[in-house]
Amino acid sequence: MKKLLYATGNKYKIESMKKRLEGMDIEIISPKELNINIKVNEDGKTVTENAMIKAQAYYKIAKIPTIAGDTALYIKEFEKQPGLYVHRINGKELTMEETQDYYVEALKKVGGESEAYYYTGLAIIKDGQEYTKEIKEDTFIFTSKVSDKPSKYDGLSRIQIDPKLQKYICELTEEDIKKRNCTFDIECVNFIKSVL
């Protein structure tokens, strides 16, 4: 089985990646399993640059194939885009709760909701070779109305609605997630398979 280190400390992201690759000859390894605990300064100008910075830092330590990602957020009705700074507002790194509150208030100012999408950069390093992929993710509805369900993925999943299923992201079941057939899942898996 091929091992692939996922350069993130986010437990949900690791679980999601494992689910995406279920049934394939690829085992996702977390940094925790290799006792890697580093803070990476993501000072790139693009999602791909930040993904590569992370991948390089973890690959240098682990010396096994490594994948990393970074995501930017674009909101149709916003004049000033969060872009790379989804959780960093006015130079301050916000907690998940503060981030959610910030977007709820900002959405109220533009009518309560807006179409939005994430743009993700992925980087894989294998045998010293670098590979990258950029993915424009599916559009969702960003709303100022907060779901009463707890966050499943991150705080923003309580204010994001899947337009096809008409459900908040935090309310999606495993069955819903399989049905979504989302662009990110398909393109991410294809990218990993093409490199490994």
pTM of the model: 0.92
Q: How many domains does the chain have?
A: 1
Q: Which of 108, 93, 115 is nearest to 41 (CA)?
A: 93
Q: What is the set of active-site residues?
A: 70
pLDDT-based confidence at residue 136 (cuts at 50, 70, 90): very high
Report the DSSP pairing between strands 2-6 and 26-29: parallel
pLDDT in tens, 18-69: 989 999 999 999 999 999 999 999 999 999 999 999 999 999 999 999 999 9
What count of other Cβ atoms lies within 10 Å of the Cβ of residue 71?
17
pLDDT in tens, 171-182: 998 888 877 778
- Domain of residue 130 covers 2-195
pLDDT at 80: 93
Q: Which two tokens stand for residue 3?
A: 């091992």
* CATH number (domain holding residue 81): 3.90.950.10
